[in-house]
């Protein structure tokens, strides 16, 4: 079957060992770590397990001539001078059904638009030139001396999937054949676990080798950081591990939660989520998801610190709320999902629910805080969504009561004793 947009002849990539010698990246000292397509590990319960790291598709077409390019998963590492480690989950949307995983790919051909997820490890998935927390030449970067692990995102499953799901090109938008089957590899959890195995061999062994770990991520990566935190804590049992979820406020619909945070779904979360979340599959709610997730974390890990960042009207998060709502209503046409002036109610709903959940967590827990900035910019840890007014969001953000975000995060990540420093913009 000839596929018009994304899919090419499948290349089986299985020869790269997990611990292959990394390739030095001349740009900033980053190393590219290749990952095998099948790895045997021992999970936290001591049970042998096989994981299958992969991106959504084994190949993606070259933007130059359309020839297949190897899309095998890999990640990035940069060694720092301190005994601290920053683990970053990259963002890149989400997909969970025929419309979002297949039909939305056609949006790549619409100027100014894009699919609901990024299936390519080659595009927008590198820390080189990302700026923000990865700009180690900036003297103001409080993490410039930290070692850094950058986990690309190319699976559409917020870094927690462990399944290969069969979808259909219902209208033939992508393949030219209505109803054609298309397999998407939701292997975000397998990818993370491969990275964790590498981190364990790289850092763990000397209990004093790592003092602090900041687990963080932007957008979909913020959910990856939140949901995978327990596994990072287990890997670094003697370190002070904290979490910052950037631009991932958990404002979702009931339909999305019923499709995703349930047993036997397309992402197979029962195969991946830590016990504190796994046991609640089928009970999570759209209205309360953010609170439900962070309450479980703050209760189970009272000595760890948790935080969230968002702008007041995050345009991308509002867009995804609309997409979820439209899908719940049966609108599977991705060309009608864009945000327009008529969608002001989505912005109002999203803001109200985001601020309510952040405030509730801050007032009812002892180890959670937030920073809510003004405006509608999406993500702050890199320059991915920089604007002329805010060319370097990580360093420029001061809209919440005059508090500089980079200073706020540094205090949070380095604090031995937690103090709630929640701040928000003033209307």
- Alpha-carbon distance of 71 to 61, in angstroms, equals 9
pLDDT of residue 209: 83
Q: What mean pLDDT do residues 25-35 have? A: 84
Report in angstroms the alpha-carbon separations of 126 from 206, 286, 390.
Answer: 29, 32, 21
Within 8 A by CB and 6+ apart from 111, the residues are none
**Sign of the CA dihedral 203, 206, 207, 209?**
negative
What does the pLDDT read at residue 112? 85
Structural contact between residues 241 and 229, judged by C-beta atoms closer than 8 angstroms: yes
pLDDT at residue 6 above 50?
Answer: no
Q: Report phi then psi at 41, rounded to 5.
A: -130, 170
In this predicted structure, the answer to whether residue 426 has a pLDDT above a threshold of 50 is yes
Question: What pLDDT sits at residue 66?
Answer: 83
Angle, CA of 359, 361 and 364, to the nearest 5°: 105
pLDDT confidence tier of residue 127, bands split at 50, 70 and 90: very high
- Assign 267 a pLDDT band (cuts: 50, 70, 90): very high
Domain regions of the chain by residue span:
73-424
The CA distance from 239 to 161, in Å, is 27
- 345 CB-near residues (< 8 Å, 6+ apart): none
pTM for this predicted structure:
0.93
- Measured CA to CA, the distance from residue 125 to residue 113 in angstroms comes to 18
Instruction: Report the pLDDT averaged over residues 314-340.
Output: 97
Q: In what order do the strands lie in the sheet with 212-218?
A: 23-24, 31-34, 74-78, 147-151, 84-89, 212-218, 240-246, 305-311, 368-373, 423-424
111 — pLDDT class (breaks 50, 70, 90): confident
**Other C-beta atoms lying within 10 Å of the C-beta of residue 79:** 12
Rounded CA-CA distance 285/257 in Å is 6
First to last CA, the chain: 55
Cα–Cα–Cα angle for 362, 150, 18, rounded to 5 degrees: 130
Nearest in space to 155 (alpha carbons), one of 209, 96, 200, 218:
96
Share of the chain above pLDDT 90, in %: 88
Q: Cα(345)–Cα(342) distance, rounded to whole angstroms?
A: 8
pLDDT digits (tens, 9 = 90+) for 202-241: 986 654 589 999 999 999 999 999 999 999 999 999 999 9
Question: Quick one: pLDDT band at residue 28, thresholds 50, 70, 90?
Answer: confident
Which pLDDT does position 62 carry in this prediction? 87
pLDDT of residue 143: 98
What does the mean pLDDT of the chain come to? Answer: 92
CA distance 159 to 268: 12
pLDDT value at residue 26: 56
Q: How many CB atoms lie within 10 A of CB 130?
A: 21
86 near 31, Cβ under 8 Å?
Answer: no
Cβ–Cβ under 8 Å, residues 314 and 377? yes
**95, 104 in Cβ contact below 8 A?**
yes
pLDDT score for 21:
35
Sign of CA dihedral 420, 85, 234, 54: positive
Q: Grade residue 10 by pLDDT with cuts at 50, 70 and 90.
A: very low
What CA–CA distance (Å, rounded) separates 419 from 415? 8
As its CATH architecture, domain 73-424 has 3-Layer(aba) Sandwich (3.40)
Closest C-alpha among 240, 235, 242, 250 to residue 216 = 242
194-221: b (≥16 Cβ within 10 Å) or e: bbbbbbeebbbeeeeebebbbbbbbbbb
Percentage above 70 pLDDT, the chain: 93
Degrees to nearest 5, angle at CA 363 with 278 and 215: 50
Rounded Cα–Cα distance for residues 150 and 165 (Å): 26
Across the range 33-38, mean pLDDT stands at 98
């Amino acid at each position: 079957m000839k596929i018009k947009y994304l899919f090419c002849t499948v290349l089986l990539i299985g020869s790269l060992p997990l611990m292959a010698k990394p390739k030095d990246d001349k740009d900033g000292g980053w190393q590219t770590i290749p990952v095998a397509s099948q790895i045997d590990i021992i999970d936290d319960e001591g049970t042998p397990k096989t994981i299958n790291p992969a991106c959504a598709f084994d190949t993606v077409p070259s933007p130059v001539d359309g020839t297949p390019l190897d899309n095998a998963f890999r990640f990035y590492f940069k060694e720092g001078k301190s005994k601290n480690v920053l683990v970053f989950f990259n963002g890149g949307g989400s997909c969970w059904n025929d419309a979002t995983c297949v039909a939305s790919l056609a949006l790549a051909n619409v100027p100014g638009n894009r699919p609901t997820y990024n299936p390519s490890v080659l595009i927008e998935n590198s820390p080189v030139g990302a700026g923000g927390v990865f700009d180690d030449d900036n003297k103001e970067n409080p993490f410039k001396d930290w070692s850094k692990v950058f986990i690309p995102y190319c699976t559409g499953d917020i870094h927690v999937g462990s399944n290969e799901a069969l979808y259909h090109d219902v209208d033939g938008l992508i393949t030219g054949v209505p109803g054609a089957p298309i397999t998407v590899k939701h292997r975000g959890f397998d990818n993370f676990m491969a990275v964790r195995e590498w981190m364990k061999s790289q850092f763990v062994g000397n209990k004093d080798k790592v003092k602090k770990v900041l687990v963080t991520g932007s957008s979909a990566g913020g959910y990856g950081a939140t949901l995978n935190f327990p596994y990072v804590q287990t890997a670094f049992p003697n370190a002070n591990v904290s979490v910052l979820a950037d631009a991932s406020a958990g404002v979702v619909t009931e339909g999305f939660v019923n499709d995703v945070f349930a047993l036997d779904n397309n992402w197979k979360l029962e195969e991946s989520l830590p016990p504190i979340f796994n046991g609640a599959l089928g009970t999570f709610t759209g209205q309360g998801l953010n609170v439900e997730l962070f309450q479980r974390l703050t209760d189970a890990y009272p000595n760890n610190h948790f935080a969230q960042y968002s702008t007041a009207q995050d345009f991308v998060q509002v867009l995804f709320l609309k997409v979820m709502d439209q899908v719940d209503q049966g609108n599977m046409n991705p060309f009608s999902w864009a945000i327009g002036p008529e969608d002001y109610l989505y912005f109002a709903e999203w803001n109200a629910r985001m601020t309510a959940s952040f405030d509730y967590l801050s007032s009812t827990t002892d180890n959670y805080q937030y920073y809510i900035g003004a405006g509608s910019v999406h993500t702050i840890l890199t320059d991915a969504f920089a604007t002329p007014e805010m060319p370097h969001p990580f360093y420029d953000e001061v809209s919440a009561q005059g508090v500089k975000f980079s200073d706020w995060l540094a205090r949070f990540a380095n604090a031995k004793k937690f103090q709630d420093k929640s701040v928000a913009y003033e209307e």
